[in-house]
Amino acid sequence: MIPLHEAQETVLAGCAPLTPQQVTYTEMAGRVLDQDVVAFEDVPPFRNTAVDGYAVRAIDAEQVPVELVVVDTLAAGAEPKIAMNAGEAIRIMTGAPLPNGADAVVMVEDTERVGESHVRILRSAKIHDGVRDAGSDVRAGETVFVRGTVLNAAGIGVLASVNARTVRAFPRARVALLSTGDELVVDGSPLRIGQIRESNLTMLHSMIAATGCEVINLGVIRDDEEELEHVLREVTERCDAIVTSGGVSMGDFDVVKAVLSKIATMQWMQMAIKPAKPFAFGQLQSSDDRTIPIFGLPGNPVSSLISYELLARPALRKMMGHTENLMRPAIRAVLNSPLKRKQDGKIHFMRVFGEFAEDGRLHVRDSGPQGSHQLASTAMANGLAYVPDGNGLLAGDEVSVYLLG
Ligand code: AMP
Ligand code: MG
Q: Which of 161-170, 197-206, 254-263 has the lowest mean pLDDT?
A: 254-263
Q: Please check the confidence at residue 150 and state whether its pLDDT lies above 90.
A: yes
How far apart are the CA of 387 and the centre of ligand 1, in A? 25
Give domain 330-403's CATH superfamily: MoeA, C-terminal, domain IV (2.40.340.10)
Residue 296 in contact with ligand 1 by CB distance below 6 A: no
**Atom number of ligand 1 nearest to Cα 247:** 3
pLDDT of residue 130: 98
Mean pLDDT, residues 382-402 taken together: 97
How far apart are the CA of 12 and the centre of ligand 2, in A? 26
Mean pLDDT, residues 88-97 taken together: 98
Residue with CA at minimum distance from ligand 1 atom 8: 300
pLDDT of residue 250: 79
Q: Where in the chain do CATH 2.40.340.10 domains reside?
A: 330-403
Who has greater pLDDT, 249 or 371?
371
**Atom number of ligand 1 nearest to Cα 373:** 8
Residue 300 in contact with ligand 1 by CB distance below 6 A: yes
Give 206-212's long-range contacts (Cβ < 8 A, gap of 24+): 207/305, 207/308, 207/309, 207/313, 208/175, 208/177, 208/243, 208/308, 208/316, 210/405, 211/313, 211/316, 211/317, 212/30, 212/31, 212/172, 212/317, 212/320
Q: Which residues surround ligand 2, an ion (CB under 5 A)?
A: 181, 246-247, 299
- Topology (CATH level 3) of domain 21-38+146-169: Molybdopterin biosynthesis moea protein, domain 2 (3.90.105)
Q: Which ligand is nearest to the CA of 250?
A: 1
Q: Where in the chain do CATH 3.90.105.10 domains reside?
A: 21-38+146-169
- Topology (CATH level 3) of domain 4-19+172-319: Molybdenum Cofactor Biosythetic Enzyme; Chain A (3.40.980)
Residue 246 in contact with ligand 1 by CB distance below 6 A: yes
How far apart are the CA of 302 and the centre of ligand 1, in A? 10
Residue with CA at minimum distance from ligand 1 atom 16: 299
Residue 198 in contact with ligand 1 by CB distance below 6 A: yes
Mean pLDDT, residues 298-307 taken together: 96
Q: Where in the chain do CATH 2.170.190.11 domains reside?
A: 48-132
Residue 299 in contact with ligand 1 by CB distance below 6 A: yes
pLDDT of residue 294: 98
Mean pLDDT, residues 54-60 taken together: 98
Q: What is the pLDDT of residues 231-242, one digit of tens each?
A: 999 999 999 999
How far apart are the CA of 234 and the centre of ligand 2, in A? 22
Residue with CA at minimum distance from ligand 1 atom 19: 200
Mean pLDDT, residues 59-66 taken together: 97
Which of the four pLDDT bands, split at 50, 70 and 90, describes residue 253?
confident
How far apart are the CA of 166 and the centre of ligand 2, in A? 45
Q: Where in the chain do CATH 3.40.980.10 domains reside?
A: 4-19+172-319
pLDDT of residue 405: 75
pLDDT of residue 223: 87
How far apart are the CA of 219 and the centre of ligand 2, in A? 14
Residue 244 in contact with ligand 1 by CB distance below 6 A: no
Q: How far is CA 332 from the centre of its chain?
A: 22
Cβ 14 vs Cβ 152: under 8 Å: no
CA distance linking residue 37 with residue 298, whole number of Å: 42
CATH number for 48-132: choose from 3.30.1370.10, 2.170.190.11, 1.10.260.40, 3.30.70.2740: 2.170.190.11
How far apart are the CA of 383 and the centre of ligand 2, in A? 27
Choice from 245, 253, 259 to test ligand 1 binding pocket (greatest atom count within 8 A of CB): 245
Mean pLDDT, residues 48-71 taken together: 98
CA distance linking residue 389 with residue 257, whole number of Å: 29
Q: What is the pLDDT of residues 312-371, one digit of tens each?
A: 999 999 999 999 999 999 999 999 999 999 999 999 999 999 999 999 999 999 999 999
Who has greater pLDDT, 405 or 371?
371
CB-based contacts of 76, cutoff 8 Å, min separation 6: 93, 94, 95, 96
Q: How far is CA 361 from the centre of its chain?
A: 24
Q: Please check the confidence at residue 287 and state whether its pLDDT lies above 90.
A: no
Which of the four pLDDT bands, split at 50, 70 and 90, describes residue 251?
confident
Share of the chain above pLDDT 90, in %: 97
Q: Please check the confidence at residue 110 and state whether its pLDDT lies above 80.
A: yes
3-state secondary structure the chain: CECHHHHHHHHHHCCCCCCCEEEEHHHCCCCEECCCEECCCCECCCCEECCCEEEECHHHHCCCCEEEEEEEEECCCCCCCCCCCCCEEEEECCCCECCCCCCEEEEHHHEEEECCCEEEECCCCCCCCCEECCCCCECCCCEEECCCCECCHHHHHHHHHCCCCEEEECCCCEEEEEEECCCEECCCCCCCCCCEECCHHHHHHHHHHHCCCEEEEEEEECCCHHHHHHHHHHHHHHCCEEEEECCCCCCCCCHHHHHHHHHCEEEEEEECEECCCEEEEEEEECCCCCEEEEEEECCCHHHHHHHHHHHHHHHHHHHCCCCCCCCCCEEEEEECCCEECCCCCCEEEEEEEEEECCCCCEEEEECCCCCCCCHHHHHCCCEEEEECCCCEECCCCEEEEEECC
